[in-house]
Structure 1
Amino acid sequence: MPEHPVPSRRGLLLGTAAVSTALLTGCTSNEPSGKKDRSENPDDRNAPAADTPGKAVTIGFAGPQADHGWLNAINDNARSRAKKYPDVTLEITEGSNDTAAQIGQIQTLINKKVDVLVVLPADGKALTRTGLEAMRAGIPVVNLDRIFDSPQAYRCWIGGDNYGMGLNAGRYIGEQLKDKPRAKVIELAGLDSLELTRQRTQGFDDALKNYPNITKVARQAAEFTVESGQARMAQLLQAEADFDALWNHDDDQGVGALRAIAQDGRKDFLMVGGAGARSAMDAIKADNSVLKATVLYPPTMAASAIDIARAVAQGKGIGGLSELEIPASITLYSAVVTKDNVDQYLPTGFN
């Protein structure tokens, strides 16, 4: 799963995931300001800017192994976006969770002299030197989500907001329970060895500070898998007989959590998920389970990274901003998807 620093310390906040995608897809637009805003047409919201093709660009894309629904969606978004540009050739690696293997894959792309690199590192710290190598070779790097240790290792960073996920999950739960005396919540976290998990928990805890009637009574870490979600949720249900809300960090492990909840016959609390899987959105739309919302960590960031890479290579900026240059850092917003707005976000749901 993705990992990066708390966005309040770096990044340009762009609004909801859909709005941020619409803005970034305008990064190569040269249309006069008087023309109709493309984002008004929902069918065009996730399409690249329909400008005249620029110079031919070869983009190298290197990500970790797609062993998780979100990571697989990252690869799919990058491929589909690149295909929409007649002036873009995408050189994509197989992906690896082995740091040495990914370094080798990126060095191969550097040796091929691609015009720009998009890199979602398996380990940002470990791959910083490779990002520096590419930048020194004159190849701009778009650092996707898991951030390098040095800003000199990338031209632009774009990624999600882990702290914001927790913050918005906590705010949503807080608003649902604000009038309930002595309300209790529990948390099904991800891998505690990852900084992103700690950021999500910190955001959640900070949000709950604004609701003195709510107490977090239990927290259990899982492993971002269906099996771990089911096992850890079963443990939480056994330990906590009475609570009002659950925040689950990840929709993949949430599939297992929902299984455990159904097996226990529990319907007396609300659940909020995380990331934005299609299965979670379908459940929210059906409104036939405890799952009432999910907080986005949009994999559409990979499509936006392709937009940015193309714009950087062609010397263009982002439509809607006065600056001529692409920003150094872009943080996407963690929107809360509920039954009221799920139709808007369904196209971004990943399997």
Structure 2
Amino acid sequence: MRTRIRHVVAALVAGLMTIPLAACGGDDEAGADSFTVGLLLPSRALPRWEHSDKPFIEQHLKKLCPRCTMEYANAENDATRQLHQVTSMITKGVGVLILDAADTRALRSSIRQAQQEGIPVVAYDRLAEGPISGYVSFDGEEVGKLQGEALLKAMGEKADDENVVMMNGDPTSPNAASYRKGALSVLKGKTKIAKSYDNLGWTTANAYANMSAAVSALGPDRIGGVLAANDAIAAGVIAALKAAHVRELPPITGQDAELAAVQRVIRGEQYMTVYKPFKAEAAAAAAMAVALGRGEDARDIATTAIDSPTTRNIPSVLLTPTAVTADTIKQTLVKDGVYSVDQICTRELQPACDEAGLTR
């Protein structure tokens, strides 16, 4: 079984988005499993958690372990609530936890409690502190590099004379630090970073307030580009610029390939987003959770190992993100079945979709 699951993850890393049923073992083999997998997600602020990650993880768990069940909880961006949710799942006797921490430091004691009860924890999307057994996410620095490279390309030859505003993610998230580090590795020395803001909770409202402050400080016509860490932040940036009556929006980055963001890219309001294949991430997390629930070694699933501030050599799967602009939506998001052309191209967007080649 270990070899079969390892082959599944290898295929995913190579670009496959689904797990073949043959990799799940026969009915006799799968029938021996009956443990519960606890899934804890951080918030509902981003559509992906409820609309992509949760159903994909549940789908792949059922494929790999038909008799396994899933217990689900959402922290609503409240670390204290998530602490209680973890404790509740431990009390209920789950076999393994998949945890996307609302606060990666605050959950350390809960992860230690799970370990003491013999419950392995797979850190999902964000690298939580504490004795976790495995980690599944995307290469965060690569995400930032893709954003930085796209921003420089969009600004063109004038990049070195332009003011760039850095709209970073939530400082409590280690992902935000990785994104920023990757972006700075590209932008430093090639453009002027005039302002930099952290956006608590990754919210559109905080991004709006911070971008409004940047406009007041720099002037509405003196911003050449905005490095927005994700699509929710990009939405706040765009709203603030429009409120300041900026007619020609500067290039703005994003991440998560949310449908609204993809439509903003088509509309010309947002220059790019970063597509992270959530099906592959969910499938890898499910494979790792099932292996750990069966008492197997997470290294049979992992493709690399990384260190957290508290734990060394964590078996990990880090998947590769992809930059998406208006002219690459069709060969990325549409091709992978994330969205159909009909979903993206509303009546209002038909002319822009025609121009981008989506409707041809």
Same fold (TM over 0.5): yes
Corresponding position: 1:247 with 2:234 = no
Q: Which residue of 1 aligns with 2:317?
A: 330
**Relative contact order higher in (CA < 8 Å, ≥ 6 apart):** 1
Q: Which residue of 1 aligns with 2:132?
A: 154
* 1:213 CA displacement: 4.5
Q: Which one-letter code corresponds to 1:141 in the other structure?
A: V
Matches within 5 A, 1:248-267: 248-263=228-243, 264-267=245-248
Aligned to 2:271: 292
Mark the CA change 1:228 to 1:134 in structure 2 (over 3 Å): closer, same or farther: closer
1:267 to 1:94, Cα distance in 2 relative to 1, 3 A: closer
Structure 1 residue 149: deviation in Å?
A: 2.7
- Counterpart for residue 110 of structure 1: 90
TM-score (norm 1): 0.73
Give the Cα–Cα distance (whole angstroms) in 2 for the partners of residues 158 and 140 of structure 1: 14
Q: Residue 277 of structure 1 corresponds to which residue in structure 2?
A: 258
- Residue type of the partner of 2:179? R
Tell me what 1:48 maps to: 19
Does 2:191 correspond to 1:214? Answer: yes
SS of the residue 2:193 aligns to: strand
Q: Residue 233 of structure 2 contacts residue 254 of structure 2 at CA under 8 Å; is this kept in 1?
A: no
Q: Structure 2 vs 1, CA of residues 276 and 88 (structure 1 numbering), >3 Å: closer, same or farther?
A: same
**1:320 and 1:126 mapped to 2: Cα distance?**
26
**CA deviation digits over 1:297-339, x for unaligned, max 9?**
56543443122211333438768979xxx97122333321222
Q: Distance in 1 between matches of 2:53 and 2:87?
A: 21
CA distance in 1, matches of 2:290, 2:197: 42
- Pick closer, same or farther for the CA change 1:121–1:189 going to 2, 3 Å: closer
From the superposition, tell whether residues 50 and 160 of structure 1 become closer, same or farther in structure 2 (CA, over 3 Å). same
RMSD of equivalent CA atoms: 3.7
> Residue 227 of structure 1 aligns with which residue?
205
Contact 2:103 2:173 in 1 (8 A): no
- For each residue in 1:247-305, what CA deviation from the matched residue of structure 2 results, as whole angstroms up to 9, or x when unmatched? 11121132232233345243253221123322112332x2x323121134565434431
Greater fraction helix: 2
Q: TM-score, normalised by structure 2?
A: 0.71
Q: Contact (CA 8 Å) 2:165, 2:194: kept in 1 or not?
A: yes
